[in-house]
Chain A
Amino acid sequence: MPVTTIGDQEIHVDDEGFLTEYDEWNEDLAKELASNIGIAELNDDHWKVISFLRSDYQEQGETATLRRVTAVGGIPTKELFQLFPKKPARKMSYVAGLPKPAGCI
């Protein structure tokens, strides 16, 4: 598993840069990850999504779908597209330090 340094932190990531260790994530790291994908500042709405994703992952063992973030997290899908433009599912899991949504192959 590749190791990379972001900010002053060493983290384990997969080939696409997604964190592979849940516990290596912290809020400072999230800010760095966000800026890597063109989100200059994380506002309260971003944090709401991120904290929902983090806690939901711990319970469910997989990253929430957009539909679940909307239905359970209460954040409208349109808003997810504004917060994490173009590819919200992929971008929000990247910033939250979780695996991207995936199929079985």
Chain B
Amino acid sequence: MKKLVILGGGTAGTMVAAKLRPRLDDDEWTITMIDHEPTHYYQPGFLFIPFGIYTPDDVVKPKADFVPAGVDYIEAEIELVEPEDNRVRLGDGTVVEYDYLVVATGTSIRPDETPGLDGPEYGKTIHDFYTLDGAKALAEALRLWEGGRLVLNIVEMPIKCPVAPLEFIFLADSYFQEKGIRDQVELTYVTPLDGAFTKPIAAKHLGSLLEDKKVNLEADFYLERVDADERKLVSYDEREIDYDLLVTIPLNMGADVIARSGLGNEMNYVPVDSGNFLSKQYDNVFAIGDAADLPTSKAGSVAHFAVEVFTENFLRHIEGLPMLLEFDGHANCFIESGHGKGLLIDFNYDTEPLPGKYPLPGIGPFTLLRETEMNHWGKMIFKWTYWNMLLRGKELPLPHEMLMAGKIDEGVR
């Protein structure tokens, strides 16, 4: 029997298991998925919890519910990968051997990497919404808040779902208006990039959104430390931003076990071929989803299209055949913009988000780079699609490669 081991039962790992199990002969292959966390989180839903739009029930299901029939599931800490010996050591001392390994251990926030961030004020005047606990604490803080300076900051790129911070600030604008206290709230968006919109065409179409919603922008702000007692952010070039309530997107890093195992780069992401996800070090190790060092967004959408390419390639690779498909970095993301509207973007490694219609050229129903109610409904329906289609490995009627059909190429990159 040949053994495929998948590390991580999140979005990418679960989809890999669901796609490969029906394609690998039960008499020849075992598939084992290992994860320490019993709960599967619908992470795009974390954004809605602080505003009371979702409750924790919307975003939580047992991981075991999504283990495909015929896949062995081990709930355990992953202690060490020993790629030279093709084996994985678990927290309880068990050793799991593999012929092929798929690393899908994701990325997570590291508030402890920024001086002053991860102290006694975390969960009080400093919040995140990238964990369920963080989002719940923030919901409570917002519910009781009477106004003041709400500052949202991104510590460093890359982050999981790079549009989520913008969505948060748009939803905050909407939320405080509905509460009738918008005039008592100052919203500030702080980014290390040179603007909220850094791609020329998106900037042209969406550049005025922050101004329209009366959100201050602090660009090129590279955070050195947080003074939690004085409630201020301090940058490397000694700029300061005062806050009453800080919503932070801390540094994102891959899993520590990747670093311990010598499989990662400086951010604990696994260096892979960006076209086929094969490790640059080992010919029987792949990394997929947020765990890989792909030059694109860390997002479930990237994982979804990537898994389709991976599946076909993997089946050839194990036969000793060359991998034929090349991943183009395709992703698409709904972006909530508040007041019941949303945006949609569709892009890849080489093509920035363009205006147009998606998925059907000229028809949609979704509209790229423009606020519409339909886009908002697309985002809300996606939760059902995620739990019932994506995680089950069912086909969505969407090609994995990005298509120019339906897009308006405005001639600049």
Q: Which of B237, B333, B345, B412 is A85 in contact with, Cβ under 8 Å?
A: B237
Q: How far, in whole Å, are A90 and B157 apart by their CA atoms in the complex? A: 14
Closest residue of B by beta carbon distance from A57: B295
Task: For residue A50, give the distance in angstroms from its CB to the closest CB of chain B.
Answer: 19
Size class of the B contact interface (CB-based, 8 Å):
35 or more
Is the CB–CB distance between B157 and A65 below 8 Å?
A: yes
CA A68 to CA B295, docked complex, whole Å: 14
Taking A62-B295, A105-B353 as contacts, is the C-beta distance between A72 and B266 under 8 angstroms? yes
- With beta carbons under 8 angstroms apart, the residue of A20, A67, A81, A105 that contacts B199 is A105
Looking at the assembled complex, report how far the CB atom of B175 sits from the nearest CB atom of chain A, in whole angstroms: 22
A77 contact from B197, B199, B236, Cβ within 8 A:
B236
Complexed CA–CA distance, A71 and B413 (Å)? 30
Contact in complex: B266, A105 (CB < 8 Å): no
Q: Within the complex, what minimum Cβ distance (angstroms) separates B332 from chain A?
A: 10
CB distance from B238 to the nearest CB of A (A): 9
Known: A62-B295, A71-B266, A87-B220. A81 touches B198 (CB 8 A): no
Q: Is the CB of A105 within 8 A of B220?
A: no
Q: Which of B340-396 contact A (CB under 8 A)?
A: 345, 347, 349, 352-353
CA gap between A66 and B267 in the complex, in Å: 12
What string of 1s and 0s marks CB contacts (under 8 Å) between A66-101 and chain B?
111001100001100100011111100000000011
Q: B192 an interface residue at 8 Å Cβ cutoff?
A: yes
Q: How far is the CB of A90 from chain B (nearest CB, A)?
A: 5
The interface bits of chain B over 226-252 (1 if a CB of A lies within 8 angstroms of the residue's CB, else 0) are 000000000011000000000000010
Q: Find chain B residues with CB under 8 A from A104 CB.
A: 162-163, 199, 296-297, 331, 333, 345, 347, 353
Does B295 lie within 8 Å of A105, measured CB to CB? Answer: no
Contact between B345 and A61 (Cβ–Cβ < 8 Å)?
Answer: no
CB of B200 within 8 A of CB of A14, answer yes
- CB B304 to nearest CB in A, in angstroms, measures 15
User: Would you call A103 and B198 a contact (CB within 8 A)?
Assistant: yes
Contact call A101/B193, Cβ cutoff below 8 A: yes
Please give, as numbers and ranges, the residues of chain B lying within 8 Å of A66 by CB-CB distance: 156, 192, 222
- Beta-carbon contacts under 8 Å, B120-139 to A: none
Question: Do A102 and B193 touch (CB < 8 A)?
Answer: yes
Q: Does chain A have a CB within 8 A of B293?
A: yes
Report the Cα distance A66→B333, complex, angstroms. 27
Q: Is B26 an interface residue (CB 8 A)?
A: no
**Closest A residue by C-beta to B159:** A103
On whether the beta carbons of B413 and A14 are closer than 8 Å, the reply is yes
**In the complex with contacts A86-B220, A104-B297, A78-B236 CB distance below 8 A:** yes
With a cutoff of 8 Å between Cβ atoms, the chain A residues found around residue B296 in the complex are 104
In the complex, residue of chain A having the shortest beta-carbon distance to the beta carbon of B297: A104
Across the interface, do B236 and A100 meet the contact criterion of CB distance under 8 Å?
no
B206 interfacial contact with A, CB 8 Å: yes
B72 interfacial contact with A, CB 8 Å:
no
Q: How far is the CB of A27 from chain B (nearest CB, A)?
A: 25
> Do A105 and B197 form a contact, CB below 8 Å, given A66-B156, A68-B266?
yes
Residues of A within 8 A of B14 (CB): none
Choice from B158, B163, B198, B345 contacting A100 with Cβ under 8 Å:
B198
Query: B194 at interface (Cβ–Cβ under 8 A)?
Result: yes
> Do A60 and B293 form a contact, CB below 8 Å, given A15-B200, A65-B156, A66-B156?
yes
> Do residues A103 and B274 form an inter-chain contact, with CB atoms below 8 A?
no
Residue among A61, A68, A78, A100 making CB contact with B194, cutoff 8 Å? A100
**Is B215 part of the binding interface, using a Cβ–Cβ cutoff of 8 Å?**
no
A61: chain B residues at CB < 8 Å are 274, 295, 349
A43 to B349, CA, bound (A): 34
How near does chain B come to A96, taking the closest CB pair, in angstroms? 16
Q: Give bound CA distance, A62 to B329, whole Å.
A: 13
Q: For B345, what are the chain A residues with a Cβ–Cβ distance below 8 Å?
A: 104-105
Q: 13 A–B contact pairs at CB < 8 A?
A: A1-B412, A14-B412, A15-B412, A61-B274, A65-B157, A89-B220, A101-B157, A101-B192, A101-B193, A101-B198, A103-B193, A104-B347, A105-B198
8 shortest interchain CB distances as A-B pairs: A105-B202, A62-B295, A102-B198, A71-B266, A61-B295, A104-B297, A87-B220, A103-B162
11 new A-B contacts at CB < 8 Å, known A1-B413, A102-B198, A105-B199: A61-B295, A62-B295, A71-B267, A77-B236, A81-B237, A85-B237, A89-B193, A103-B162, A103-B163, A104-B199, A104-B297
Contact residues of A with B, CB < 8 Å?
A: 1, 14-16, 20, 60-62, 65-68, 71-72, 77-78, 81, 85-90, 100-105
